[in-house]
Structure 1
């Protein structure tokens, strides 16, 4: 079965992760690795934070989490919230791990106003998990058709109703 993802309006793809630079410096990198789970738990507990979905990956020394957010405003509000789990984790990283260079952290933020997807014989994954899965034929059978349908959908979602 072929499906495509549909999501209303613009959204944000946020890539975040860490890299273990010194495996033996467990006391420096392990606390950093443990900080993401409480943040995700907090974000999933309240949809008003704006996290739509996420997937996690590990490749030897480097972790990668792909997150889908409703907007950059939601993402920034969470990052700056001094009562949430992110702010103290960020401060702790700079206080306890930054100077050692035993662990690195990174992120990239992309605002998305056009996209296309296809999932063949896949359970909900990526944007298909964060948004709505629909039969691919509803949006188009080719990548170009789906991209055009996604752009039309986004344009109509941004028009005043």
Structure 2
């Protein structure tokens, strides 16, 4: 079970990075022969990425819903993400998808890509294990300059509610 960090934390990362959301949606539940290969292609791609840190891949979270799965990924740069997408296991899976499913409507796929940089993002994790951006960057207490969303974005304001102190968490 993942360690819970009691209190409030945020992610701290310097420079540009990319948030990439990719997933699949099962549109025809009984078309298992269509959507299962798409689903099964995700694991080997993630394994390939974790085994090759030079790709620029920082990490991922799997989010499951009743019609599919979404992967929330973090990358060092857009160029590294695009390079990976045009090669390796991803390229082979993309070709298979286009050949076996194409536009028949049985399975949907999607992705969204966001470039972020210092001062253009913020996060909060209260009583959570390391998750998302905090799992792939520095996981730091959300206090002082990091106590509010606006402060984490570089602005000034006072907390709207009293901010509890973080208990000591043993790493």
Q: If the length of structure 2 is used for normalisation, what is the TM-score?
A: 0.82
Give the number of equivalent residue pairs.
147
Distance 1:56 1:138 in 2: 32
- Residue by residue over 1:41-84, the C-alpha shift from the partner in whole angstroms, topping out at 9 and shown as x without a partner, is 00000111111111111111132111011110010010112xx1
1:34 match: secondary structure: helix
Residues 34/139 of structure 1: CA separation in 2 closer, same or farther (3 Å cut): farther
2:75 paired with 1:69? yes
Residues 46/138 of structure 1: CA separation in 2 closer, same or farther (3 Å cut): farther
Structure whose residues are more often helix by fraction:
1
Instruction: Give the alignment partner of residue 56 of structure 2, picking from 50, 59, 66.
Output: 50
Aligned residue for 2:94?
90
2:74 paired with 1:101? no
1:78 match: secondary structure: helix
1:121 match: secondary structure: strand
Aligned residue for 2:130?
124
1:140 offset after TM fit, Å? 2.1
Distance 2:143 2:113 in 1: 30
Q: If the length of structure 1 is used for normalisation, what is the TM-score?
A: 0.87
Moved over 4 A (4+): none
Equivalent pair of 1:4/1:139 in contact (CA under 8 Å): no
List aligned pairs for 1:147-158, cutoff 5 A: 147-148=153-154
Distance 1:99 1:142 in 2: 45
2:37 paired with 1:37? no
Equivalent pair of 2:10/2:146 in contact (CA under 8 Å): no
Equivalent pair of 1:5/1:116 in contact (CA under 8 Å): yes
Aligned residue for 1:152?
none
Equivalent pair of 1:28/1:100 in contact (CA under 8 Å): no
Distance 1:61 1:141 in 2: 37
Instruction: Give the alignment partner of residue 111 of structure 1, picking from 115, 126, 131.
Output: 115
